[in-house]
Amino acid sequence: MAASKTVFEQKTKPTLLIANQVGNMYAPSVYSGLASFIATNTLSSVAGKRVVLFSYGSGLASSMFSLRVSENTSPGSDLDKLVSSLGDLKARLESRLRVDPSDFEKIMKLREDTHHLAPYTPVGSTEDMFPGTWYITHIDEMHRRTYERNPLKLAGQGQERGTLQAADVQVELTGDTHHCDCVCDCNICTCMCMVIST
C-alpha cells in the first residue's frame, strides 16, 4: 500500500469525492468519479488531460474507455461551463438533508414493500429535492414509469426541453413531465471505478 500511496493520492483520490459521501451508486459511479475529478480540480488543471474510466460488475463483465478533456479554457467554452457547473458540488453534498436512523428505516421499509409493485403511485414529499430533480410520479401495470421534475430555473431561459435517445428507448423531455418505456429494474448494475491518467 505504501508504494502506491502517492499515485493513489494523485490519480484516484480526486475521483472519490462523491463516492465517499454517497456510497456505491452502481452504474452512475463511474460518472460520479468523473464529476468528482472535475470538481476537485481547476479549469486549467483538467484541460487536455486523458481520463481513463473503468467499470466492472460482479465478475460478469467489465469495460474500459478513455477520453481526452478539451484544451479550450476560454470563458463560455463547454469545458468552462462544465467546470463551473460542478464548482459548488461540495456545498451541494454538504446541504443534503440528514434524517434520523429511525426515519431512514421507515423509508427503506417503504421501498422494500413497494419494490417491483405495479401499478404504483409513490408517496412522499418532493420539497427537499434539488431544483431540476426528476422523480417518479406513477408506475403503470406494465411497469412504465412517468416522471415529473422539480422546477429548474435557468437565467433568462425556460425549462429544459429536448429528446434523449438511449439504446431502443426514446425519452421525451417536455418541460416538467417525462415518460419512459424502459422497464429495466434489474438491480444487477455494474460497480464503477475510475483512475486518472496524466
pLDDT digits (tens, 9 = 90+) for 73-126: 999 999 999 999 999 899 889 888 888 999 999 989 998 999 989 999 998 888
pLDDT at 189 over 70: no
Q: Which domain holds residue 78?
A: 2-97+188-197
What is the tens place of the pLDDT at every residue in 133-150?
888 999 999 999 999 988
**DSSP H or E run through 111:** helix 101-114
107 found inside a domain = no
Give yes or no: residues 124 and 59 share one domain: no
Residues 16 and 74 reside in one and the same domain: yes
pLDDT band at 71 (very low <50, low <70, confident <90, very high): very high
Kindly give, in sequence order, each residue whose CB lies less than 8 Å from that of residue 118, ignoring residues fewer than 6 positions away: 139, 140, 141, 142, 143
109 is a domain residue? no
- Do 163 and 172 touch, CB atoms closer than 8 A? yes
Number of domains in the chain: 2
pTM of the model as a whole = 0.62
Q: What is the side-by-side order of every strand in the sheet holding 61-68? A: 61-68, 50-57, 191-197
3 state DSSP class of 124: coil
